[in-house]
Amino acid sequence: MSEEIDLTGDGGVIKTILRHAKADAVAPTTDNPVVDVHYEGVLAETGEVFDTTREDNTVFSFEIGKGSVIRSWDLALRTMKVGEIAKIKCKPEYGYGSAGSPPDIPPNATLIFEVELVACRPRKSSNLGSASEERARLEELKKQREVAAATKEEEKKKREEAKAAAAARIQAKLGSKKVQGKGKGKAK
């Protein structure tokens, strides 16, 4: 199992990498502060799932550093790269504290999240659609590129087959002329 990384120095937020990102993967930055994540949150005490994006295969998007999520998420997601999956264990003071988040999260609850960083991107400008629309657009572009590459490869294969067939016909004609040429000599 991967080592535990104490992100706060006091054991308040512990990160364990479950799947490393590729070496060239991007991380959130000031230019790309908006992150899209898949996650599942469970109560450490009971193991009960209190929230997840996995059931409906949605992503949760937020901007790092704006205070729109619990502190442990702001801290942990800054250290992740796209494609990485990590277990984030957070003490109450880095989660929902003494208030909890009724009815799902009781007061002073230690939480465990499995988080996958799906994407990080710039702040949304007025001419961009929603995150899901952007993902759908990118997925469609990817499919189009794959179809174009497959079509190009198929055309190349057909050209090579046509060249091979033409070469075989030429060889066959040349071979038959040689055979015919040997038999047409003058009689002595």
Return the active site residues: 39, 50-51, 70, 96, 113
Q: Is the peptide bond before 103 cis (omega within 30 degrees of 0)?
A: yes
Counting Cα atoms < 13 Å in the Cβ hemisphere of 180 gives 6
Contact 152, 116 (CB under 8 A): no
